[in-house]
């Protein structure tokens, strides 16, 4: 069912159903949770893409495993919607939300010219915002020249380019995703330069004693890590390569006497510089919202402060903290399903998930709510293992990081 074929009259329904915006992991988890408890309530899923079901965390490991986008798709959007008895409005954008009338306005993403496109308005009894977050592209990283791996369609386009042979890839941002992608590309036979404003990977999350080990492991693989480095701009040169100009923050105390740095010449640049939530729909819906952390929800019900509207996944925040991990989605979706269906429930109990870096060069596991600054205390320290606890003001452990050297196979 496509909005192309809908008139306003036929698309408008009575307020007896659930509308979900976003067909990522979060949106589909909500559908699974509702259908487990109610097979018949009408559900409409709106997505700007095809709505295919896939596990997004696999994107940071797929290139070295030679898995194409089609290999990662568990079910097409059309097949998944049919199985769940859901009305799928694929390749469709939401242009407005009226929280008083409880309606959303739609336009086909395939026919964006208003002269040739039928608009549609559909009603909802309950609305779930699951539209995710978008990569941040600083001014120095023009979107038309720089890749990201936050969506399967863009990943597929990059993978096609990388399949042409060994290439040099620069990754800007050495957080979790950037560090994982760097190792994946290296394992696939590409030359990799990893660039970050900080002097070590994961420096926004962990203390220097921990990140120094991660930096050492990354470099030991053969990844060129440029820490304390800021990208100034990216342009395409006459040879068709990308020219990455950058400066060292560590030696920028006297820019007048600093030696100029030769630009980096690469085949591709990938941005891994964080996520932001687009403000258009939250503003239209009148929900409390922060571009960096997302839509504010009640911690136990995942309701927004606008009646009949919920949020889940990358676009949502709890107690001022963005919720951008996969592990809690099932419990979050179950809570939303119970609340929407009017079932009694004990409420969502938010617990920070274990964070595990997927790199093979070093084992990094984090529990709690880590932050780089704070009272980190060494619990165990040896060449093979480092365990540190972050203590709060009451000297209680609020986070723990465990770093282990990889077990080398016996000869």
Q: Per the domain annotation, does 396 fall within a domain?
A: yes
Q: What is the pLDDT along the chain (411 residues), one digit of tens a residue?
A: 444 434 333 343 434 699 999 999 999 999 999 999 999 999 999 999 999 999 988 988 889 998 988 899 999 999 999 999 999 999 999 999 999 999 999 988 666 555 555 568 999 999 999 999 999 999 999 999 999 988 888 999 999 999 999 999 999 999 999 999 999 999 999 999 999 999 999 999 999 999 999 999 999 999 999 999 999 999 999 999 999 999 999 765 555 555 678 999 999 999 999 999 999 999 999 999 999 999 999 999 999 999 999 999 999 999 999 998 999 999 999 999 999 999 999 999 998 899 999 999 999 999 999 999 999 999 999 999 999 999 999 999 999 999 999 865 554
Are 142 and 263 members of one domain? Answer: yes
Which stretch of DSSP H or E encloses residue 209?
helix 208-220
- How large is the greatest C-alpha to C-alpha distance in the chain, in angstroms? 71
Q: Quote the tokens at residue 343.
A: 């079932």
**Apex CA 224: angle with CA 220 and CA 225, to 5°?**
90
Pair (117, 146) in one structural domain: no
The structural domain count of the chain equals 3
Distances (CA, A) of 317 to 112, 150, 168, 219, 400: 31, 19, 37, 34, 22
The span from the CA of 19 to the CA of 126, in Å, is 6
244/168 same-domain check: yes
- DSSP 8-class letter at 343: -
Whether residue 409 lies inside any domain: the answer is no
Our separate counts of H helices and E strands in the chain read: 9, 28
CATH code of the domain in which 382 resides: 3.30.390.120
Q: Please give the Cα distance from 178 to 382 (Å, whole number).
A: 27
CA distances from 120 to 104, 106, 275 (A): 8, 5, 30
Q: Give the CATH number of the domain where residue 233 resides.
A: 3.50.50.60
Dihedral (CA of 140, 142, 143, 145) sign: negative
Domain end (from 249, 271, 293): 271
Same domain, 146 and 112: no
Structural domain boundaries, residue 189: 136-271
Helix H or strand E segment including 141: none
Taking 3-state DSSP, the helix, strand and coil percentages for the chain, each rounded to the nearest 5, stand at 25, 30, 45
Cα separation, 402 vs 359, in Å, equals 14
Cα separation of 74 and 72, whole Å?
6
Same-domain check for residues 265 and 141: yes
Same domain for 33 and 112, yes or no, is yes
Pair 140, 99 in one domain: no
Residue 85 lies in a domain: yes
């Amino acid at each position: 069912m496509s909005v192309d074929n809908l008139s306003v009259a036929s698309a408008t329904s009575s307020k007896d159903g659930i509308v979900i915006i976003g067909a990522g992991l979060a949106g589909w988890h909500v559908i699974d949770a509702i259908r487990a408890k109610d097979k018949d309530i009408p559900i409409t899923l709106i997505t700007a893409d095809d709505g295919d079901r896939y596990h997004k965390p696999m994107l940071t490991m797929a290139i070295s495993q030679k898995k194409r986008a089609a290999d990662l798709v568990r079910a097409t959007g059309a097949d998944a919607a049919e199985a769940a008895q859901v009305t799928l409005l694929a390749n469709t954008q939401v242009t407005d939300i009226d929280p008083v009338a409880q309606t959303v306005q739609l336009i086909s993403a395939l026919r964006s010219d208003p002269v040739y496109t039928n608009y549609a308005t559909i009603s909802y009894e309950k609305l779930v915002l699951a539209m995710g977050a978008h990569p941040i592209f600083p001014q120095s990283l023009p979107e038309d020249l720089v890749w990201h791996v936050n969506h399967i369609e863009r990943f597929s386009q990059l993978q096609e380019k990388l399949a042409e042979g060994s290439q040099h890839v620069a990754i800007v941002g050495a957080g979790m995703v950037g560090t994982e992608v760097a190792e994946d590309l290296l394992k696939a036979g590409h030359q990799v330069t990893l660039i970050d404003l900080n002097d070590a990977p994961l420096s926004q999350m962990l203390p220097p004693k921990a990140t120094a080990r991660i930096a050492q492991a990354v470099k030991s693989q053969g990844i060129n890590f440029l820490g304390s480095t800021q990208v100034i701009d990216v342009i395409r040169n006459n040879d068709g390569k990308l020219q990455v100009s950058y400066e060292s923050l560590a030696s920028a105390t006297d820019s007048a006497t600093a030696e100029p740095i030769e630009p980096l010449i690469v085949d591709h640049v990938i941005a891994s510089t964080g996520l932001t939530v687009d403000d258009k729909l939250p503003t239209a819906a009148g929900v409390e919202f922060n571009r960096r952390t997302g839509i504010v929800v009640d911690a136990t019900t995942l309701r927004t402060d606008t009646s009949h509207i919920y949020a889940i996944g990358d676009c949502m925040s709890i107690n001022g903290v963005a919720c951008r991990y996969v592990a809690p989605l099932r419990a979050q979706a179950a809570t939303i399903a119970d609340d929407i269906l009017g079932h009694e429930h004990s409420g969502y109990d938010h617990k920070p998930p274990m964070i595990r870096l997927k790199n093979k060069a070093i084992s990094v596991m984090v529990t709690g709510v880590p932050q780089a600054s704070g009272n980190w205390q060494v619990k165990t320290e040896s060449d093979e293992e480092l365990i540190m606890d972050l203590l709060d003001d009451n000297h209680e452990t609020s986070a723990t990081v465990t770093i282990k050297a990889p077990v080398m196979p016996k000869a």
